[in-house]
A and B are shown apart, each in its own frame.
Chain A
Amino acid sequence: MTMAPSSPPPPTAASSQQARPERTILRVPEHTVEVVSDSGEGAQKCAQIFGRVSAKMGNGVWTVEIIPAEIQPPARTPESASGNRIRIGTKPVTNWGDHADVVVAFNEQVLLHRHRLGALAEDAIILIEDQWATHDDPDIRKAWADAMEELGQRSYRFIHVPMEEQCLTVTDTPRRGKNMFALGLLAWIYSRDLDKIRELIAQEFRKKAQALYDSNVALLELGHRWAEEHLDFRIQVPAIEADRPRVVMNGNQALALGAIAAGMELCAMYPITPATSASHYLSDIFERFGGLVHQAEDEIAAAGVAVGASFAGKVAFAITSGPGLALKTEFIGLAVMTEIPLVVVDVQRGGPSTGLPTKVEQGDLLAALFGQPGDAPHVVLAPATMEECFLSMTTARRIAEAFRCVVIVLSDANLATGVQPFPRPEVNEQWLAQSPDLGPVREGLRPYEWDPERGLSRRVIPGQPGGMHTVTGLSHDEWSHVGYTPDVHERGCVMRSRKLAVFQQMLRPPLVHGDDAGDLLIVGWGSTLGAIEEAVDRAREEGVAVSSVHLRFLSPLEPGLKEIFRRFKKVMTVEINYSDEPNDPYITDENRRRGQLCWLLRAQTLVDIECWTRVPGEPLRPGQILQAIRGHVPQEVTR
């Protein structure tokens, strides 16, 4: 290795002429790594492989994508920051943690971005590409110097790495190869299994040329060697051999595979981030399973196609994000009215309007519940992990069919793009939907032969002799005949609503994480599960009497909540959606707009529930929640 002549010796990397440095070995239960580059430099690929190999080696893993808003943002700008955070642990990891402990940065600007967001630990070790310090362009040298000054306010430890220069020894296009070099660095630091990494690279380049694989592996090995020769520390995050086979994937892949495992036959969609990647994956594999993805002309049409297929007896779902959910509203109402089973997945992003297309928010809860004009009772289900993304599709489909109802599945950008290993699902023939009985219909069967108590009725499907009828979005009686009289309309409303009550009585109360009673109860839903429980555990270690519950069914709400709430002095929701801060100007208890689950729970339980919500466009950090817990424990107790 040669250093650029004008470059000052890197502060902590020894040059190759010297003997290998003394090494400190840091043994930790968990560690968080970030890889950030300009968009298009492949930091994401590097981080994904690092995450996967860690999962393969038995570590708990959670990865979160750092996504720029544009496809080609200008290089070397904070906006261009692209990459991943990977948190690995000895035990399962359930969220992205608080701060990055080790960072590999391809330039100082993208690093600055992470720094300004407060993403880096006070003593983070930063491996940074050092070509910019001595760049020919004085503007770049200046930018570097300014950035270093700003970064110097913290006690980060910098390690300058001549990434480009090193990569040039193997490839002519170092900009495209640095990511593998960086992977080599990390592989050495964390003692990752190189053979397993080579396998993953091979998978990655399955469809490409051998030469590409070779140069990637060469770069990997180069990075590994460089680290071995220059770094004075290694980090050990012991892994535990898993007792069950595991799979690793992101929440959208899990949803897509879950839809197949649920026997779905049609996915109707219109491209929208962050839902699209699920349909990309499905488009790739669904036809092999006898299913297909229909890309409609818009979200309304996508909903219509799903409703049509479902009306015809096939199991279909639509997948979208907030703006698309808004467009599907009328069809969802129609499916409720006609009692056509339908699963709609909403992978939430920041709103309102186009909002934050690539970033997480839990802002669609009330829209999902109440978005449809009129009374449109339906089920809303929110998976909390990647595994639950997979499993929720089967459950949702089965509920939709049993109750002839709509089920909205609320995922979010955090689940969609985050990667986590989970026990390999033991796929079961019973999960696959049964074909509907297209036999002749019993004489005199009404298309809505409502069980007067439960509102349930048997579906009649086109093709069934003797079952001919016309479903309608107009108010109708058991014969599906249009009727506007009070008795017809009210009866229809009662029957559709009753199904939800019946289902609610089949639900079990949620489990309380922590003690059954105490000072503070945190209530959450969706992707915040891991961060909330980690914060609660940390607070409990500090002696705070805090517990949490996490809801999966938001409509109908899980039973027994009031009973659970009563056992705590204070109840507070933690959510990623907007609420007014109680102390802000003009905000009073009367006009304060609260978090969405909070609003719902207050209405349903008449308990004076508090909320702590944030809309940072990124997942909540357990440390933040911990502070909120400390700040909200009822005063007389802490005093």
Chain B
Amino acid sequence: MIDQACSLLSCGPDEDREWTMADYESAAARWCPGCGDHAILTAAQRLLETEQLPPEQTVFISGIGCASRFPHYMNTYGFHGIHGRALPVAIGVKLRRPDLHVFVVMGDGDCCSIGAAHWIHTLRYNPDIVALLLDNGVYGLTKNQTSPTSPKGKASNTQPRGALLPALNPLSATLGVTNASFVAQTGDWVPAHLYATLLAAYRHRGFAFVRILQRCPQYTTDLFEGAVRDPGLIELLVHPDGVAVSELERLYKNQVRHDPADLDAARRLAEPDGKIRLGVFYRNDALPVYEETRAVPTRSHAEKLALLNTELDRHAV
């Protein structure tokens, strides 16, 4: 919904063409075998295919880490930046190029530690961007250091006698920020749910934050192993306004009906109580979107010059 002028020469693809999965695939992914990131990559590619997003109109932006390798494996535009700073770059892109579809991929170190300020403030800005937090509870790329989301007691190379602090809960933190507009959680080992969540996130108007529980067989083998083996540990949040994947409802017997419009309930459900909840916690499509709030009409050169001269008149002696 952007009544913002652009140039007709850059208004998007000049032909209608159909995109296939292959159009979104790039270099072979180089994550460890069994790494949850592979499944997330596939889900993202499926999403793009479903939504028929032209690769040239799509940008994946990341920080640094295993997760942040993501853009290299997508045949879209990509920005593999610096550790923790994907979100400001994404805001810069979206702010002046709202025509582009912008996705951000971050690790838990990226998002919840070094980039925490940007995480909170991007929630406030609420740009129309999809952000994926690939949370493996550890620093993978730098070989096993404690992350803010490492469970207390989990040994790492920096805290060999176990993580000293209780884990930060990205869902509660996100739900606590004014203007948060879409908060969901899914897991890399439930592809149907993962895909449906990404789709809902993409279709949300505003900043869609998706925490994806991501298995790292290298360093946090056991983190989600229980939940992978025992669907009983998982509780699905179901609602027509959230994600509803009927084929999963047979496998995952624990379900709660949760209306994503209910923020208080969302905050309660996000509190750790031993259950892993997958689904849309909160969703509010009515919040103002930053790049729309800041939309300014393009000025022609002639108009700019005229305005400049008027402004110079004010300083004339």
Contact = CB atoms under 8 A, between A and B. Distances in A.
Interface in B302-316: 302, 304-305, 307-309, 311-312, 314-316
A249 B89 contact: no
Contacts of A203: 314
Interface stretch (A90-98, A167-175, A240-248, A535-543): A240-248
Contact of B81 (A285, A297, A436, A473): A473
B113 interface: no
Contacts of A302: 88
B299 interface: yes
B92 A463 contact: no
Contact of B296 (A246, A263, A287, A474): A287
B89 A290 contact: no
Interface in B34-49: none
Contacts of A330: 82, 85
Interface string A277-298: 0000000010111111010111
Contacts of B76: 468
A290 B299 CA distance: 6
Nearest to B60: A470
A58 B317 CA distance: 8
B107 interface: no
B75 interface: yes
Contact of A463 (B60, B64, B97): B97
A312 B93 CA distance: 6
Interface string B207-242: 000000000000000000000000000000000000
Contacts of A425: 312
Interface residues of B, number: 62
A289 B307 contact: yes
B92 A305 contact: yes
A421 interface: yes
A388 to B, nearest CB: 16
B95 A432 contact: no
Interface in A298-331: 298, 300-314, 316, 330-331
Contact of B95 (A52, A266, A331, A464): A266
B82 A470 contact: no
A308 B93 contact: yes
B204 interface: no
Interface in A225-255: 242, 245-249, 253
A56 B317 CA distance: 4
A439 interface: yes
Contact of B85 (A300, A464, A468): A300
B301 interface: yes
Nearest to A334: B82
B118 A294 contact: no
A462 B75 contact: no
B129 to A, nearest CB: 11
A308 B99 contact: no
A305 B74 CA distance: 23
Given A260-B304, A290-B296, A482-B72, A308 B89 contact: yes
A472 B27 CA distance: 15
B275 interface: no
B315 A297 contact: no
Interface in A406-449: 421, 424-425, 427, 429, 432, 435-439
28 contacts: A203-B314, A242-B317, A247-B316, A257-B308, A289-B299, A290-B296, A292-B296, A296-B88, A296-B121, A301-B91, A302-B88, A304-B85, A304-B88, A304-B118, A305-B92, A308-B91, A330-B85, A334-B82, A427-B305, A427-B308, A427-B309, A435-B9, A462-B97, A463-B57, A468-B56, A468-B75, A470-B74, A473-B81
Interface of A: 52, 55-56, 203, 242, 245-249, 253, 257, 260-261, 263, 265-266, 268, 285, 287-292, 294, 296-298, 300-314, 316, 330-331, 334, 421, 424-425, 427, 429, 432, 435-439, 462-474, 481-482
Given A247-B315, A257-B312, A464-B56, 5 more contacts: A291-B296, A304-B89, A432-B301, A435-B7, A462-B56
Closest 3 CB pairs of A and B: A308-B92, A470-B78, A304-B88
